[in-house]
Amino acid sequence: MKLSSPMDAWKYLPGTNCKECGEKTCLAFASLLLERNKKLEDCKPLFEPKYASKAKELAELLAPEIREVAIGVGARASKIGGEDIMHRHELTFYDRTSLAYDVWDTMAEPELRERVRRITKWRKFYVGEFLTLDVIAVRSVSSEAKTFARCVKCVAEETDMPLILCSFDAKVLEAGLKEVSDRNPLLYAADKTNWQAIMALAKRYNVPVTLFSLDLDTLNSLATTFAAAGIDDLILDPGTYPTGEGLADTFSRFVRIRRAGIVDGNKSIAYPLMAVPMTAWMTNGNQDALDASYWEAIIADTLILRYADIMILHSIEPHSLITERTLVANIYTDPRRPVSVDPGLREVGSPTDKSPLFITTNFALTYYTVESDLSSSKIDCYLMVVDADGLGVEAAVAGGQLTADMIKDTVASYDAEKKVAHKTLVLPGLAARISGETEDATGWSVLVGPRDSGRIPGWMTDNWPPKTVS
């Protein structure tokens, strides 16, 4: 993206403030365009003939530096690439790294279907959302077209996840493609030996394709050749060596390609990058599976930080999945906006008018930690969430985002007085210093809870009900 402010985008809009986009002004719409929360198509007047040249120019200016490529269809389709920056603190990363886990065509069918189901159904609750996996990579181990086709068909019957079809043999790939041609699978991969046959497949079925080469000049040449043939949905795999100098060279290639696309503006190589950390399993056929899975996860986590947009992995054990998927979730959050929940009055368990009323902030990690501690301890209570600009308790108190007046307004806004008979608030221990002010502002009695919500059960034994509650 070559626009640095909403004003830069606003200059290309009609400027009529017609509100057809759902926003009050064109400037507000421009701001949301830059945040990717609105699309150009939402501005209907922009596509009138008199604005056609501006619409075209604006579309080019808004296009990300790294091409965005979609694989799969429907709600579970994965968008990869689409980045504008080298470093997260500069703006934010948008399309998180897609994690693909493999199956192979020599697996027994019951084992194959069970593995696909495990990958499809895996999820982990984390800071208010369920983390899931993204893609299934179907590998041809048999090198037989019919065997591969049967495997792809079984996988497609079990899941709606996007698919990567993996073989360097065009005939094998086409056999699989025929089974899922309507699902926009990713082909893996074209190299300097098979590129013509793979290019013909990509054009015939209109699907994205991965280009592979350890040599960056060759990779650039392949990308230029495919783009000239009208195939722009490309992903580049510069190779993933799992150990030694080869691993160091792998990191270097990833950084060099991404820098060329974003900093140097080299559009011929400005495509999403694929890593294959599962090569960790290929270095020593006799190595311990646990060691291999750990090393695979280490390589994956490092390459998530080194611009890998999609990667193929093998281990589906919890110690691997959780580390990989959690890191992706953390890296691909907007650093300018704390992850927050809506303020309000929540019920935990089955509270009555004699149940305690706890106060916390709307920082998601704080809220879900407190809510989880209360729920797991089976404490029936009310939890009042104060809008503290998405900050945790200690930071919000220090910065003035959590004050006595804010607590007063929140208590009044959500009619807390109608829920409890005791008019007693329980402040977090980290907010103890505003307890007196809160009593004065609200007219409620204030108790100071523990600094750690995990200690609430013990605190309840000594402090609840308060003497003022009959």
pLDDT reported for residue 284? 60
Taking only the tens place, the pLDDT of each residue in 167-210 is 999 999 999 999 999 999 999 999 999 999 999 999 999 999 99
pLDDT reported for residue 285? 57
- Going by C-beta distance under 8 Å and a sequence separation of 6 or more, which residues neighbour residue 135? 71, 72, 78, 98, 99, 100, 101, 161, 162, 163, 164, 186, 310
Q: Quick check: 173 and 187 in contact, CB under 8 A?
A: yes
Q: Quick check: 391 and 399 in contact, CB under 8 A?
A: yes
pLDDT reported for residue 468? 57
Residue in this structure with the two tokens 């159904």, named with its chain if needed: 121
Question: Would you say the CATH fold of 68-331 matches that of 6-62?
Answer: no
Which residues, given as ranges, of the chain have pLDDT below 70?
A: 1, 284-287, 468-470
- CATH of region 6-62: 1.10.15.40
CA 302 from centroid of its chain's CA atoms: 16
Q: What are phi and psi of 464, to 5 degrees?
A: -130, 135
d(CA 132, CA 114): 17
pLDDT reported for residue 466? 86
- CATH of region 68-331: 3.20.20.20
pLDDT reported for residue 469? 46
Sheet holding 234-237, edge to edge: 234-237, 209-212, 186-190, 163-166, 135-139, 98-104, 310-313, 274-275
d(CA 325, CA 134): 10
Q: Does domain 344-463 have CATH number 1.20.1060.10?
A: no
pLDDT reported for residue 118? 98
Taking only the tens place, the pLDDT of each residue in 348-366 is 999 999 999 999 999 998 9
Helices (H), 210-312: 216-228, 244-262, 289-304
What are the extents of the domains in the chain? Answer: 6-62, 68-331, 344-463
